[in-house]
Amino acid sequence: MAVLKVAKLGNPILRKIAAPLTADECKDPKFQIFLDDMVETMEKLEGIGLAAPQVFQSKQAVVLRSTSNTRYPEAPDHPLMILINPVLSDHSEEMIEGWEGCLSVDNLRGKVCRHRKVKLTAFDREMKPLAFEAEGFPAVVLQHEIDHLLGKVFLDRMSDFSSLTHLAEFDEYWLSPHKVV
């Protein structure tokens, strides 16, 4: 396995619509190794999700897993998911606002509104069809990652840039709601 290079904001690959994978493409042993490399890259860089275009493959694949780490100390635990060709099939009208960052957007956090609940269809890495619902934190991560497949980053989803903050300032002023400043 290998840690892959991450495309940064400004790289045109982050703005392309990713291509869906065929069963043959997904089952190719080289692509299966690539999926393992995506997981390793996400974990090494302490991301909670990663989309294939972020590691220079404009294909519809995302991985996510969350455990508390130094980038996201308050992240709840969520088991590893590898999703091929994920599509949001439905969502709640109700929105939730939360802080987002991105491995492709260094050193920034900003508040983004997302649907609180989403329904998805996708395939697993063996191309078995999946359909499921997610709510709260995993729903937000899924929306962020699927956006990468559509050429979008979280900055595009911010309605107000006044919350945009560098990481050191995020840690100092926004991480703990109880901190006296």
- In whole angstroms, how close is the CB of 167 to Zn ion at the nearest point? 15
DSSP 75-143: PPPEEEEEEEEEEEEEE-S-EEEEEEEETTEEEEEEEEEEESEEEEEEE-TT--EEEEEEESHHHHHHH
**What does the per-residue mask of binding to Zn ion show for 80-119, with x meaning CB under 5 A?**
----------------------x-----------------
Nearer to Zn ion, 49 or 85 (CB): 49
145 counts as catalytic: yes
- In whole angstroms, how close is the CB of 103 to Zn ion at the nearest point? 6
Contact 79, 46 (CB under 8 A): no
Q: Which residue is nearest to Zn ion (CB)?
A: 102
Q: How far apart are CA 86 and CA 96, in angstroms?
A: 21
Nearer to Zn ion, 99 or 127 (CB): 99
Which residue numbers are catalytic?
Answer: 145
Which residue ranges make up the site for Zn ion (CB under 5 A)?
Answer: 102
